[in-house]
Amino acid sequence: MTTSAARANVLVRALRAGLDRDPRVLTDVYTDDVRAWTPALSTDSRAALMAEFERLDDAFSAIELEVAPLDVSGEFGCVEWSVAMTHTGPLEVADGMIVEPTGTRVTLHGVTVAEFRGEQICALRQYWDELSVFDQLGLLPREPVRPV
């Protein structure tokens, strides 16, 4: 049986490999039939997940990942993470709208829940607030503050 510490390590490796788009590690940490859901994608195989990672733009660089395992037991693991990154490339936001690089350093916080089969992840769900990045980049309208 795989230990909780080993599974936590696999989950951290999976998160780093997704950011790095490292196909060798992605092949090691995910089953062929992995199901993945995030606010940005939904896939039902490792090949589809890897294709999604490859199609990501290069809008951000100097990416730093911090991960804190919250609970890893049985067949499930949950980690809280934050990603700090700098907006250095064109960012496509919606309907083909492009936001030119701002040089702004932003931080995104999220949670990942993974289900394991043996030593590999067979299901993955990630949750984060995508609008927080848009807000940090100054893309959201500001409401004037009114006295109460």
State the pTM of this model.
Answer: 0.85
**Predicted pLDDT of residue 1:** 47
Q: Report CA dihedral (68, 46, 41, 55) to the nearest 10 degrees.
A: 100
The alpha carbon dihedral of 22, 80, 45, 28 has a sign of: positive
**Predicted pLDDT of residue 145:** 66
Q: What is the C-alpha R_g of the chain?
A: 17
Per-residue pLDDT tens digits of the chain, which is 148 residues long: 467 788 888 999 999 999 988 999 999 999 999 999 998 889 999 999 999 888 777 899 999 999 987 777 789 999 999 999 999 999 988 788 899 999 999 999 999 999 999 999 999 999 999 889 999 999 888 776 677 6
**Predicted pLDDT of residue 2:** 64
Question: Domain 4-136 falls in which CATH fold?
Answer: Nuclear Transport Factor 2; Chain: A, (3.10.450)
